[in-house]
Structure 1
């Protein structure tokens, strides 16, 4: 089921997939001259907050969580990056250390592009700088929207929004006709919503009893996305 006209999914997804699409061959060559591809197991850290930014990462397969850790050691998941997205480039562009951490949510294949190659490609490219500026502008709007939601929406509404967004993330790796299964731990889900595990368990049970979703172990299948959109507080006017 498409969310078009029902839920403003663009307010929740970055658009870094478009950065490398159809770049001129020579410009793509500069970018990938020394690219190294690596397989990651589920739960592996790709880079940590505060580390020196040595390059950017292109997710060729899988999903990655971007997060920060508070003083109590609790994660606050900022974003889930999907296949085709770039991560780590904000730090390179700002000439700063990584502002957050990144770790795999499942088995991934990720390509590392050294800082020098990325900056060289930007200098030589006529397309890349414009795409980066457009993407960064959109990401700023997405983050402002996320901050607003945390401040203004209830935990139940935030969980509904998170499940809708995750459904779209996992839809991309699902074959036509197959059920979309959201495969994240309850702890990660709680860290995305910004609440405790007990609240997640309580509301998931409530949603199950209402026929909105079903679970299979830790996997979640949304069976009535329209009801979930109603709970989220979003309508066609937003």
Structure 2
């Protein structure tokens, strides 16, 4: 879910290094750039009055993030925090908007990216209605398999920690640990050396079908 790097560089985009734990932009702040992750990982979060993070998405290399204010000129809806040392490609907001006006195909591609974000939010809302933690986690993993996100294409190893799964599914990490163990016992996934593999997750009768 991103734009072509060579095109962005030709339009004047520049690389920006960010250290682990650094805040890239704040919720409520003004947007100056289009951001695209080249390497590392980024948490897209809301932070409540107690300092607790509520994860909206975990960004992988090749994905853009924080794009909503590029279109509506409103403040950022969430903060972006580097989960590890990152390399980010940034394009000035005014140049990005000029590019969208001049290139119909690129505008359609950004629309597709925004629609995919909305679909993921619908999926998360749907998962909350499920009765068991296993159902909620299974819906999430099924989505990642389908969209080829957070899963190694060769080994099918899940590239998320149990804490990250808990954050995305809205569950306690202890609940996720128990649920994943049960899913392993039921043959829905494989655990080897604490790593999670999901090569043949059977289709679930629900939202994604």
The TM-score normalised by the length of structure 1 is: 0.71
Using the TM superposition, give the Cα deviation of residue 49 of structure 1 relative to its aligned residue in structure 2, in angstroms: 1.3
Q: Residue 123 of structure 1 corresponds to which residue in structure 2?
A: 101
Question: CA-to-partner distance for each residue in 1:102-145, whole Å, 9 max, x for gaps?
Answer: 23445543211121221222233333333333443443333223
Q: 1:126 to 1:235 in 2, by over 3 A?
A: closer
Using the TM superposition, give the Cα deviation of residue 38 of structure 1 relative to its aligned residue in structure 2, in angstroms: 2.8
Q: Residue 201 of structure 2 corresponds to which residue in structure 1?
A: 225
Q: 1:106 to 1:210 in 2, by over 3 A?
A: farther
Q: Is the 8 A contact 1:46 1:104 kept in 2?
A: yes
Q: Residue 74 of structure 1 corresponds to which residue in structure 2?
A: 52
Q: Residue 191 of structure 2 corresponds to which residue in structure 1?
A: 214
Q: Is the 8 A contact 2:15 2:89 kept in 1?
A: yes
Question: CA-to-partner distance for each residue in 1:124-182, whole Å, 9 max, x for gaps?
Answer: 333333333344344333322322222345322111222334453233x55x4xx2322
Unaligned stretches of 5+ residues in structure 1: 1-15
Q: Residue 10 of structure 1 corresponds to which residue in structure 2?
A: none
The 5 Å alignment of 1:1-238 reads: 16-17=1-2, 20-21=3-4, 28=7, 32-152=10-130, 154-167=132-145, 168-171=148-151, 174=153, 176=154, 179-211=155-187, 212-217=189-194, 219-222=195-198, 224-226=200-202, 229-230=203-204, 233-234=205-206, 238=209
Q: Distance in 1 between matches of 2:120 and 2:207?
A: 18
Q: Please provide the CA RMSD for this pair.
A: 3.0
Q: Residue 13 of structure 1 corresponds to which residue in structure 2?
A: none
Greater length-normalized contact order (CA 8 Å, ≥ 6 residues apart): 1
Unaligned stretches of 5+ residues in structure 2: none
Q: Distance in 2 between matches of 1:196 and 1:204?
A: 12
Q: 1:130 to 1:235 in 2, by over 3 A?
A: closer
Using the TM superposition, give the Cα deviation of residue 99 of structure 1 relative to its aligned residue in structure 2, in angstroms: 0.5
Q: Distance in 1 between matches of 2:131 and 2:55?
A: 17
When the two structures are aligned, how many residues end up with a matched partner?
A: 206
The TM-score normalised by the length of structure 2 is: 0.79
Q: 1:34 to 1:150 in 2, by over 3 A?
A: same
Q: Is the 8 A contact 2:21 2:81 kept in 1?
A: yes
Equivalent position SS for 1:130: helix
Using the TM superposition, give the Cα deviation of residue 53 of structure 1 relative to its aligned residue in structure 2, in angstroms: 1.1
Q: Is the 8 A contact 1:78 1:192 kept in 2?
A: yes
